[in-house]
Amino acid sequence: MDTLDFRLRGEYVALCDLLKLSGIADSGGQGKQMIANGEVTVDGQPESRKTAKIRAGQTVHCLGQTVRVLAAEA
């Protein structure tokens, strides 16, 4: 299982954008499809909201990859 760190630029990032920006999805549309197919969990729970606000400290898992979300640098 691969784990990557993603540093926020603001307070939060939309889940579909996180999948795209972290390289799990090739596009935002593909990220939305993964979410709709039930392939994404946030903090161990299935997440079906495509634009769920993902904040620092949360962990997203999709297709065998884990993304740890870190706070923006001050």
The CATH fold of domain 2-70: 3.10.290
Does the structure show a pLDDT above 80 at 50? yes
Which residue pairs from 45-54 have beta carbons closer than 8 angstroms and sit at least 24 positions apart in sequence?
47/15, 49/15, 50/14, 50/15, 50/16, 51/14, 51/15, 51/16, 52/14, 52/15, 53/12, 53/13, 53/14, 53/15, 54/12, 54/13, 54/14, 54/15, 54/18
Q: What is residue 36's predicted lDDT score, i.e. its pLDDT?
A: 97
Domain boundaries, the chain: 2-70
pLDDT of residue 1: 66
Global pTM reads 0.93
Instruction: Kindly report the number of other CB atoms within 10 A of residue 43's CB atom.
Output: 11
